[in-house]
Amino acid sequence: MAGTSNAPHPTQPHLEPAPTGHPAYTETLPCTPESAPAARRLIRHVLGAWALDGLADDACLVAGEMVANACRHTRSPVIRVSVTRLDGTTVEIAVTDRSRVLPARKPAAPDALDGRGLLLVDAVAARWGADPQRWGKRVWAEVRAA
C-alpha cells in the first residue's frame, strides 16, 4: 500500500489531569533498565512543552535513578513514570511500581560502582519520598528552578 510504513511509531506521552488538578504526563514502560532513556525523553518532552527546559538535567537525573531503582528492586512487569507541574518553577517526577517495599538510603562502599541512586536524588531534588499503595508504591521527587 502506498503511503504506509511498517516503521514503529514512537510512543507519545499520555496527558491526563493529576488528582491535584495540575497537568501531568504519564507513560507506562517495561520494568527494564532500557526504560530509563524513555523516561528521560518523556521528561525532556514535557519540560520543553512547559518552557521549563532549565529543569531538564536535574529532572532527568532523578528520573533515571528512580527508574533504575525500580528495575533493580522490584519484579513488576511495568512501571509508570509521571511528570506533574506543581507550579511555575516546580515539577514532580514519580515512578510507580507494584512492589510494596519502600526505598531506603544505604551507605555505599567508597569503591562501589552503584548504590548511590537515592543519595543523588536527595542531593538534586528539593524533596522526595515514597507513598505506599495497596498494590505497590509511588516514589516521587520535586525538582525546582533555582
H/E element, 124 = helix 117-124
Nearest C-alpha neighbor of 18 from the set 78, 85, 63? 85
Q: Which domains does the chain have, with CATH numbers?
A: 14-104+113-144 (3.30.565.10)
- Band the pLDDT of 1: cuts 50, 70, 90: very low
Residue with cell 511509531: 9
Q: Is the pLDDT of residue 127 over 50?
A: yes
**35-92 pLDDT tens trace:** 999 999 999 999 999 999 999 999 999 999 999 999 998 888 999 999 999 999 999 9
**Distance, first Cα to last Cα, the chain:** 53
Task: Judge if pTM exceeds 0.85.
Answer: no
Say if CB 67 and CB 36 are below 8 A apart: yes
